[in-house]
Amino acid sequence: MTSPPFLSSRSALPLLPLLLCALLSACAAVGPTYHSPAAEQLAVPSQWQAALPHGGDTGQLLGWWARLQDASLNRLLQAAETNNPSLLKATANIASARASVSTARAAGQPVVTGSASATRSNTLGSAQTTTSGGLDASWEIDLFGSVRRSTESADALLQARQADWHDARVSLAAEVATDYVTYRACQLTLQTVQSSALSNQATARITQRSLQAGMTARADADLADASAASASASAIAQQAECDVTIKALVALTGLQEPALRQQLDAQPPQLPPPDSLAVQTLPVDMLSQRPDLVSAERALAAASAEIGVAEADRYPRLSLTGSLSRSRTAGVDTTPWSFGPSLSLPLLNGGAKRAAVDSAQAAYDLALATYQQSVRTAVQEVEQNLVQQDSAERRTADVRRSAEGYRSYANAVETNWRAGGDSLLNLEVARRNAIAAEQTLITVQRDQLLYGIALYKAVGGGWSVSVGEVK
């Protein structure tokens, strides 16, 4: 951009071109015209590289929570959205951004102020009253688009804050669902551990009686007692883990803990039926579904507009000012008035205004790099979650068969042990293998759901936006 042109001091009508430009609105806003970065600039791949669950042919993102068919989860999600601090903060940010838009637009409007006064004075023994009233008006003509660019920036930031609100909703729902699934898996694991503890306690009692009868070695009795104590400790630790997850749900939903526990206990502890989250769009289409990416892109647009604001500040400023007043003193009325344009020229500022443009350009470059990194991270998250969910889905059948086999073997060993045909050591090994296999099954079923939840978040939760639409 060239340096601001100076007006000739010899010109008889130095303001005429500027006034004509203002009246005809012919002056273009300085600074770059913003265009959203193309997919090539963002290095977005043309298709998913990871396998899509179920071939990517099931379901809708918007109805994903309903497809889990879990009433408790639905109630928790509703409670979280009712009064959550993250959503309240996002709403407050929208209100602040909306006020900034109004402020930016007001800068391009005429300003009129009124005044009135009444004075009673006594001069040389003669008392008199003076009353006056007046209007002052000013209007800065937006010659080079400073106001227009400021409004563009404020509008873009408002849209970014609206996208942040949607992102907060998606993140909140995913977090609630994650903790809920984690809690249900914890309950199932607790049942398994508690069942094992009861079985170990029964074995310890049988072994102790057998020791007293002289039919069992002391080493076997010690092993049985140790196994019972270990299983009991594992059950206590597992219970604590479930209670910690409850605390997290209390913080997310705002429900009182007794009420929350009552809701959770209203249905038996079980994981929602696994259901893959379908992804049918390409990464380039995904950009319109992730509110955090929309927010980053709108922040980029705002940074672009700020370059124009800084550039316009290097050019002349034209203002129209006028005043009209009326005063009355000792029965004499006066009505002074004034009107005229004023022009300010940035002649010498030590390079501060040029530096302001450079700073705005650097802020834009930073916003662009941030947006590019956000897009790449989003694609990475989707690809990784697709791989993890596909892996968990394909492992489930094998893990279930393993758990059934180990449980059947443990039951057979216990039957033999009670009949005196097997050792206590073999029984304990069989039990540990069975418990580990059952816990692995619960974990892989839990992970299949958690990866689905993470995938739901990674593709934007089915949220869509129309730029400029106000929440």
Contact residues for 13 (Cβ-Cβ < 8 A; gap 6+): none
Q: How many CB atoms lie under 10 A from the CB of residue 32?
A: 15
**Helix, strand or coil, per DSSP, at residue 279:** coil
Domain 27-109+142-315+353-462 sits in CATH at 1.20.1600.10
CA–CA separation, 155 and 103 (whole Å): 11
CA–CA separation, 176 and 186 (whole Å): 15
CA–CA separation, 283 and 430 (whole Å): 48
CA–CA separation, 193 and 197 (whole Å): 6
Q: List alpha helices for 122-272, DSSP H.
A: 146-212, 218-253, 257-265
Q: Tally DSSP H helices, then E strands, for the chain.
A: 12, 5
CA–CA separation, 109 and 94 (whole Å): 24
Q: Domain extents for the chain?
A: 27-109+142-315+353-462
Total-model pTM? 0.78
Show pLDDT as tens, one digit a residue, over the chain (471 residues): 444 443 344 443 444 454 545 444 446 788 888 888 876 677 666 666 665 544 433 334 445 677 777 888 888 988 888 888 988 898 899 999 999 999 888 888 888 898 888 888 877 667 788 888 888 888 888 888 888 999 999 999 999 998 899 888 888 989 999 999 999 999 999 998 898 888 888 888 888 887 887 777 888 888 888 888 988 998 999 999 999 999 999 999 999 999 999 999 988 888 887 665 555 555 656 666 788 998 999 999 999 999 999 999 898 888 888 888 888 877 788 888 888 888 888 888 888 989 999 999 999 999 999 999 998 898 888 888 888 888 888 888 899 999 899 889 988 988 998 888 888 888 888 888 888 898 899 989 898 889 888 888 888 876 655 444 434
Q: Which residue has the tokens 């800084």?
A: 310
Residue 181 sits at the vertex; the CA angle it makes with 262 and 393, to the nearest 5 degrees, is 150
Contact status, residue 257 vs residue 246, Cβ threshold 8 Å: yes
End-to-end CA distance of the chain: 38
CA–CA separation, 75 and 5 (whole Å): 65
